[in-house]
Structure 1
Amino acid sequence: MQRIDRLESRFAMHDLVSDYCHGFDKRDFDRFLAIWWEDCVWEIGPPFGRFNGHAGINEAVKDILWPAWLKSTHCTTNLRVNFTDDDHALGVSDVDCIGTTSDGQAQTVAATYSDVFERRAGVWKIVRRDVKMHHFSPLVGITLEAPA
């Protein structure tokens, strides 16, 4: 039974990581917020900072990040999950993001996400995400547009 539980848990964590990307990029705040426990910490680091709880997530997304990005596409890969017990796990994954900033500048970001997943009352969510930026760079002279 533990093997089946671990498989189901891994799929649940994979969905959380995917819903982070889909929620953010498609501007679906309810989907994005649903991945986080109320007492979560989202440590984005420079240049953005640390955000606590659902109120912090709301501030980060609606007041800082979405106004800064007209469009974005996150691609999260290499998710590795290590269980610390039946209801707690650590995850690490890499992300590449490309987008257009509010001033029309094409931008690329590469980072690593370090997650703390926790299961409460049978539901997995993220209780902490630390973001380590590897680069945050403009793509000078490039305009990102949908194909004609």
Structure 2
Amino acid sequence: MPYRDAIDMLLAKDALHDLAARYARAIDRRDQLLLRSVYHDDAIDDHGVVFCDSAALFVAQQPEIMAPFAITAHYLCNQSYRIDDDRADGEIYFIAYHRTEAPGSSHIIVSGRYLDNYERRAGLWKIAHRRLVWDSFITLPAAPADMAQLAALGIMGSAADDRSYDALPLMGRGQ
């Protein structure tokens, strides 16, 4: 592979890696502007029985979809990309933590894989079609003592009012 092609490939993979991180941040911060920015206007999001339609509708329905959860944290693991000019395919393993609202809070931990088709349009990589494969689902009760210990540790994560907006001003809303 010529030197310039290798650099272009690395830049594309870095852009796709950043796109994945922005998706996770957008979901966990309930940042609809940022979430919308990771999809092309005509993109499809297929979360299986949870949701399968246009990405624009997926973004619009996020407040309703996320309403039962006090907090979510999406962790991205293995990421593999194959790039062909302005198209790319990617498989991203994930673990997603969800804690339901009180009373009766529970921990829900799911894992799976994002199977993504990307396109670079006007120089920007975005998701054209996302499909999910669900690999595991675990529900555990959130013990009151555990929640008290979490609170005792100090500042906890949350959604739109997350501490990261103050601590990381370059990563503001929608960015």
Is TM (by shorter chain) over 0.5? yes
Unaligned runs of 5+ in 2: 153-175
TM-score, normalization: structure 2?
Answer: 0.76
What is aligned with 1:110?
111
Cα gap change, 1:96 to 1:35, in 2 (>3 Å): same
Structure with the largest fraction of strand: 1
Match of 1:57 in 2: 59
Deviates more, 1:22-31 or 1:112-121: 22-31
Provide the aligned length of Structure 1 versus Structure 2: 144
8 Å contact from structure 1 (residues 75, 95) kept in 2: yes
Residue equivalent to 1:90: 89
Question: Aligned equivalents of 1:16 and 1:140: distance in 2?
Answer: 33
Cα distance between partner residues in 1 of 2:133 and 2:86? 25
Equivalent residue for 1:136?
137
Residue identity over aligned pairs, in percent, reads 26
Rg larger in 1 or in 2? 2
Secondary structure of residue in 2 paired with 1:100: strand
Deviations 1:79-128, CA, capped at 9 Å, x for gaps: 00011x21000000110011212352211111111001100011000011
Q: TM-score, normalised by structure 1?
A: 0.89
**Greater helix share, 1 or 2?**
2
Cα distance in 2 for partners of 1:55, 1:116 equals 18
